[in-house]
């Protein structure tokens, strides 16, 4: 099956290899000529994986029409901030109906979930019901074929099952679930919690503090997500607890590493001024803070992260304030 992947980043490359291992023909579309050449001529994506050789059947192109030609499945794998523009371009370029898969976690700059902006930007006659391929997964491990379990989340159980079958193999297991709202909020909100986890590690506050942070962070995610219609079961699964754990404890996580740098400096100023990587938790913290304020939802951890990132608050002082809040039942 020909499958188009929009993006040539780390996660796009890892998913392309999963598909190649499963006997499909992925064609990646990217705007970075050096990455396209690296994939086609040297069977690697050195910008993300150094000299690691990837599946030789993976191809890349800078021609969107070529990538989409005769593709049965189109996978969106771009930064959340670029999703709106990419979808509008895709809507113009598509000339047939495809199975559309979102592989991006986060919120848009208008505080929208990924599925919301995708559905509103791409005409219904050009796509089947949207499926989001999300859950606890680091590209650095998937590219090495380490065991991974994620979800195919969609309001259409049938379409989710099709996507799960396309991707699943002995090292990559895909579960089906229908809670689109809860899952998308979970995998986006955990990025902000992961920044807090990195800050705690950077400040050297120990395992007890991080255990408390992750546990209370899960509670915060659940309360926030359920307010918008998410299901409790979702936050105890792969797109809740699972993604929270992998992001809060792994040095593969850009969000954790961002928090680590901020914690070591006990200040976010230098990191924000010099960072050149995509850290989805920065945008997520702003979105959640604004939505929580609007809907009167208590999100103390995310509020503290927002204060550090956007108001110049000192991380150690914000942690002290969190610990000194009025006592209450768990």
Active site residues: 190
**DSSP, res 104:** -
**DSSP, res 82:** G
3-state SS of 241-295 is HHHHHHHHHCCCCHHHHHHHHHHHHCCCHHHHHHCCCCCHHHHHHHHHHHHHHHH
d(C-alpha 241, C-alpha 99), whole Å: 28
Query: In whole angstroms, what separates CA 280 from the centre of its chain?
Result: 7
Cβ proximity of 32 and 22 under 8 Å: no
CA-based end-to-end distance of the chain: 50
Alpha-carbon dihedral sign for residues 311, 314, 319, 320: negative
Closest CA to 247 of 288, 314, 190: 190
Task: Please name the helix (run of DSSP H) or strand (run of DSSP E) that holds residue 84, with its range, or none.
Answer: helix 83-93
- Is 127 strand, coil or helix? strand
d(C-alpha 124, C-alpha 128), whole Å: 7
- b/e per residue 185-202 (b: at least 16 CB within 10 A): bbbbbbbbbbbbbbbbbb
d(C-alpha 195, C-alpha 247), whole Å: 9
């Amino acid at each position: 099956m020909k499958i188009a992947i929009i993006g040539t980043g780390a996660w796009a490359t890892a998913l392309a290899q999963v598909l190649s291992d499963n006997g499909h023909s992925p064609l990646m579309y990217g705007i970075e000529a050096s990455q396209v050449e690296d994939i086609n001529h040297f069977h690697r994506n050195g910008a993300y994986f150094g000299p690691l050789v990837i599946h030789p059947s993976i191809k890349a192109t800078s021609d969107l029409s070529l990538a989409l030609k005769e593709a049965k499945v189109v996978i969106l794998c771009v930064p959340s901030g670029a999703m709106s523009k990419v979808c509008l371009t895709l809507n113009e370029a598509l000339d047939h109906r495809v199975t559309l898969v979102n592989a991006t976690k986060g919120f848009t700059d208008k505080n929208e979930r990924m599925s919301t902006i995708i559905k509103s930007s791409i005409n219904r006659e050009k796509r089947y019901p949207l499926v989001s391929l999300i859950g606890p997964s680091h590209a650095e491990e998937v590219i090495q074929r380490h065991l991974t379990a994620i979800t195919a989340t969609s309001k259409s159980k049938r379409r989710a099952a099709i996507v799960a079958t396309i991707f699943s193999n002995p090292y990559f297991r895909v579960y089906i679930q229908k809670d689109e709202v809860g899952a998308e909020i979970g995998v986006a909100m955990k990025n902000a919690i992961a920044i807090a986890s990195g800050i705690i590690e950077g400040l050297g506050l120990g395992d007890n503090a991080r255990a408390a942070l992750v546990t209370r962070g899960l509670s915060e995610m659940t309360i926030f997500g359920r307010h918008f219609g998410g299901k409790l079961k979702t936050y105890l699964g792969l797109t809740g607890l699972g993604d929270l754990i992998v992001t809060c404890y792994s040095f593969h996580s850009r969000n954790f590493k961002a928090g680590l740098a901020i914690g070591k400096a006990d200040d976010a100023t230098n990191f924000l001024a010099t960072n050149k990587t995509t850290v989805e938790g920065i945008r997520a913290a702003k979105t959640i803070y604004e939505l929580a304020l609007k809907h009167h939802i208590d999100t103390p951890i995310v509020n503290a992260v927002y204060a550090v990132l956007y108001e110049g608050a000192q991380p150690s002082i914000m942690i002290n304030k969190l610990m000194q809040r009025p006592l209450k039942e768990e």
